[in-house]
A = this chain, B = another copy of it.
Amino acid sequence: MDLVIVGSVAFDTIKTPYGFVNRVLGGSATYCSISSSFFSKDVGVVAVVGEDFDNKYLRYFLDKGIDIRGIEKRKGKTFFWEGEYSDNLNDAKTHKTELNVFKDFNPTLPGEYENCKYLFLANIDPDLQNKVIQKVKNPKFIGLDTMNFWIQNKKDSLLNVLKQIDLLFINEGEAKLLTEESNTIVAGKKILELGVSRVLIKRGEYGAILMEKDNVFLIPAFPLEKVIDPTGAGDTFAGGFMGYLAATEDKSFENLKNCILAGTIMASFNIEDFSIKRLNSIGFSEIKKRMVKYIKSISLDGEKFLKQI
């Protein structure tokens, strides 16, 4: 197995200024695995669903060649989230969270999964993230996401997993919360001091910052004219990133920039519609076309400039 993704599979009810959807497929592992499948052909998912999870939903994973042996079906209902985005589409207001079977989620890795080369731990309890890390035998690269809740309520557990991973994906606001620092760059440096090798600070529509000791890289997001629903953007980003990394097997700083390009473009598609609708409708030629446009919009000839001044 090249890439294993551990996270949630859920049903979401979402309202944004552009529409409303009821109990559609969502969850971090859903967005992440489908996104990664455009680059990596050997992806497995570890998640838990309830009895209400109709098998028809599994085809979304199977159609993309994703291994679903790690999706466990349990007695009870699937994780459910209901939320609403206001005009600026930045922050979701949660109306309802029903953890259901996700409450007792205890990630079990089918045999082969333990030999995965690349591992992404989506936003779940850091104690569970730690448990998975102990199970994988010889991973080349572990990416990890987290959220405010764990920073505030399980900081020690989180700090423990950070020391064992290769890259932390974190929102700008969460990075500031974790480090109690108001400057983003300083927050990134402080995160590196916590013992994590690299940090990727996500700035939403403003792009991302990748930092490792002695290296920093900043990139704007793809300039999108219409955002319908930002749900899953971060997970779709991580999916594109990890999928491209698993496909190229090169964790040099230079190639991690390419991983960001892949993640950014996948996230830009995802937020153009609700649920996984857009991810389901695109093909690789469309992805490549947008990549060309994106690279054109962020490129400049820096070396020529430096020679001139």
Q: A interface vs B, CB < 8 Å?
A: 87-88, 182-186, 189, 203, 205-207, 209, 216-221, 223-227, 248, 254, 257-258, 261-262, 288, 291-292, 295-303, 305-306, 308-309
Contact = CB atoms under 8 A, between A and B. Distances in A.
A115 to B, nearest CB: 26
A119 to B, nearest CB: 23
A292 B305 CA distance: 10
A288 B305 contact: no
B206 A206 contact: yes
Given A183-B226, A218-B221, 17 more contacts: A184-B223, A185-B223, A185-B224, A186-B225, A206-B220, A207-B220, A217-B297, A217-B298, A218-B220, A218-B298, A254-B301, A258-B305, A261-B305, A292-B306, A295-B302, A295-B305, A296-B302
Contacts of A209: 220, 223
Among A205, A227, A288, max chain B CB count under 10 A is at A205
Given A183-B226, A227-B183, A258-B308, A298 B219 contact: yes
A216 B220 contact: no
